[in-house]
Amino acid sequence: MNHFTPILSLACIASLLAIGETYRDYSSPYVDPCGASATQAHDGDIAYNPIPSSSSRQKRGATAIRERLWPNARIPYKISPTFDSYEQSLLYEAMRQWEARTCVRFYERPSTHNQSYAYYFKGGCCASYVGRQSVSYQQGISLGSGCTTISKYLHEIGHVIGFWHEQSRPDRDEYIRILTENMNPGTQSNFRIQEEIDSMGVGYDYNSIMHYSSTTFGSGRTTLVAHDSSIPVGGAVELSELDILQANLLYQCDSENPPPSELPPPVASDLEQTLPDLPDCHMDFNNDYEGVVKSDNYPSTYSPNQNCAYRIRVPEGTKTECDHC
């Protein structure tokens, strides 16, 4: 059973439409992690530009290359104007959750800024680079079709901060087993081990927001399992305690006395927005609802390529439980 904590309200958006955007900021090179300009593709949602390392390679979950860290744990960002108010509020909430218990801070890129910054846009996939890529660089974080959930936003921001996938750790085979026979054709490379990883002594985290689910790239078939069959693997919808610990260790900063946030405060009107004009495929639930959410007209024939929206309203501070999400 998955648990997640909504802030004022929870919206689950299921999008089946391809979303694309053409954008270029001529003040610095634009690199789309979904496009051919990315030097190498890794692990499904990671783009990778090699950076010569001044540090030795080490073991486990975050980048071991110090040049990939953001100076003073401060990450400048810019958000594409094509995000609607709900998507923006969800993105701000994901950044707030990373800030809440770590010393990492996000701030909007000033117009005079000429250093690397994170650019959130609607590309053709859910993808990001790992950490900062160079001194002067606009690096894209693609949050396109099918990405509009708090867990996916948290995950991609984790890559921006400097995290690889948890199951890419060099010691992962001590904890999980990879079932290559169940993988979709051509996806085996997404499960490779990465040597450019350091977890700073933190144990393997089955609950990490950076961990694949047990059926990733398997079309419903199990592709990875824990050696201890009683341990569920992946599928996190919030940051784990070890995600938080590693972020603070990675940036070697004081999470108890962090600098103030520079993100805008939550706006109730953003989170309480009305559903988009989708008369054929949307549902709005109150906190006392119990039932099953299905595709429109399921199990009978239903139209392909529908854009569906499902929103659940609950009191602040409560949790919503969802089976088989």
In DSSP terms, which residues pair with 284 in a beta bridge?
311
282 is in an annotated binding site: no
Q: Are 320 and 10 in contact (CB under 8 A)?
A: yes
How far apart, in whole angstroms, are the C-alpha atoms of residue 293 and residue 282?
Answer: 10
Pairing, β 138-143 against β 117-121: parallel
155 is in an annotated binding site: yes
173: phi then psi, degrees, rounded to nearest 5: -65, -15
Q: Are 306 and 296 in contact (CB under 8 A)?
A: yes
Active site residue 272: no
């401060």: which residue's tokens?
74
> In the structure encoding, which two tokens stand for residue 135, read together?
């001194």
Closest CA to 63 of 168, 163, 146: 163
CA distances from 230 to 20, 210, 223, 225, 324 (A): 41, 20, 16, 10, 18
How far apart, in whole angstroms, are the C-alpha atoms of residue 266 and residue 244?
Answer: 22
Q: Which of 156, 166, 196, 262 is catalytic?
A: 156
159 is in an annotated binding site: yes
Binding residues for Zn(2+): 155, 159, 165
Binding residues: 155, 159, 165
Residues acting as catalytic residues: 156
